[in-house]
Amino acid sequence: MVGAPGRATRRLSHAQGADRTGLGRLIELTATHSAGDALITVSLAGALLFRLPVGQARGQVALYLLITMVPFAVVAPFVGPVLDRFRSGRRYIMAGTLLARGLLCWGMAGAVHSSDALTLFPSALAVLVLSKAYNVSRAAIMPSVLPADIPLVTANARVALFALISAGAGAGVASGLAALIGPDWVLRATMPLFLAAGVFAVRLPRHVDTPDLELDTPDPEAAAELPPRWRTVFTVGPVVAEAMTANAAIRVQAGFLVFFLLFLVQDRHLNGLDPTVALAVLAAAAGGGGLAGAVVASWTRSRSPHLTVLVTLALATVTTIGAAFVFTLWTAVVVALVGAFAQGLGKLALDAIVQREIGEEVRSSTFGVVETLLQIAWVFGGLLGLVMSLFTTGPAALAVISAGLVACLGWLVALRRRRLEAAPI
């Protein structure tokens, strides 16, 4: 019974030559990584949020966001340049991020059990940075494991599909275990999962490691004339910059929805269902939207990834405007569904743009900047949603987010039009 689903899953993950290039192994590794992250997220949510009164939970969530994200904004931009500097050991860097997170899970379990915030928040920051380092490395090596007959967007979508399914399963298991044995024991149980994944990462094909920068430029004088790495990262070009901006706007909306709707439901301002059931429906809508985004990404191989990014932003904008006029629990479900769809599809298109437009020597650095920007945008939206949930029950807050999305979409469309008009025929 267990072997048949496992064999079917392996056939899907290793299809179209993915078994020969190493894409299949990377898919399985990323699925394990996502399941572990889901276990951690559910455990921390149970410790920081659902055990506390609503007012106190707001303070804990705000503190968590600020304490973890302010240092993250400083540390994360350096992750990409470090990974670019050690491109010949990417397998071991990925393994290191997984092994370290396993050890941190054990430490966080003790902090959750004893309510030790001084240990919990720095450990959560370290887990977040290591998770982003893994994502940066994984995105950077995608072209090296890409089969000849699979486009980049499709390959990214395949990885995302398995990661989302694995994360959903992990979240479900974590929720059940947290209710039975507590979030601290869920964190302890997560440790061996990450340790096993770290060992598996070392077994990725050797060709995912590429020569270091120094080997690419054997002439010391030529190497000295290269621009500093941090400067090269910010000269990404208009296509990448516009795609990053659109995705950042979508992340602001996503972070806003998570915390605004969460506290609106807990404050019983969204009637129609029991708060627990309403939260489950909203979570299912978000998960389904993300899964749909990954599925649709596999069908966009003949379309422009940049156009796909603009379309996702337009979808998020239109649904948010509609919910601002007619705000109920069910329109909130639709916004959560479409927002998660836009976030998933837009990020996959952005990854493909970076993988196509940015050279190998600074690809990890660029992905580091992308991950940092998107994470900060999500946290900004989350803090905005948390604050607005104190003062408004729905339409006004969504109107503010809608205005920001409309302004961003209009600006990006105007930029694209001017760029296409200036391009040589």
In angstroms, rounded to a whole number, what is the distance separating the alpha carbons of residues 394 and 325? 10
413 within 8 A of 310, measured Cβ to Cβ: yes
pTM (2 d.p.): 0.76
Contact 186, 35 (CB under 8 A): no
Report pLDDT digits (tens) over 173-208: 888 887 788 888 888 989 999 999 999 988 888 877
Instruction: Please report which confidence band the pLDDT of residue 55 belongs to, taking 50, 70 and 90 as the band edges.
Output: low
Q: How far apart are CA 39 and CA 131, in angstroms?
A: 13
Residues 6+ apart with CB under 8 A from 276: none
CB 316 within 8 A of CB 405: yes
Torsion, CA 276, CA 119, CA 99, CA 90, rounded to 10: 100
pLDDT per residue as tens digits for the range 220-243: 443 344 344 443 445 667 888 899
Map out the domains of the chain with their CATH numbers: 20-208 (1.20.1250), 227-420 (1.20.1250.20)
Contact 296, 345 (CB under 8 A): yes
Q: pLDDT digits over 131-175, tens only?
A: 888 888 888 788 888 787 777 777 888 888 888 888 888 888 888
Is the four-CA dihedral 3, 4, 5, 9 of positive or negative sign? positive
Q: What is the pLDDT of residue 210?
A: 66
Q: Kind and range of the H or E element at 422?
A: helix 395-422
CB neighbour class for 341 (10 Å; exposed up to 12, middle 13-18, buried from 19) = buried
Q: How many CB atoms lie within 10 A of CB 124?
A: 19
CA-closest candidate to residue 139, choices 125, 112, 160: 160
Question: Average pLDDT, stretch 327-342?
Answer: 91
Here the tokens at position 123 are 């450990």
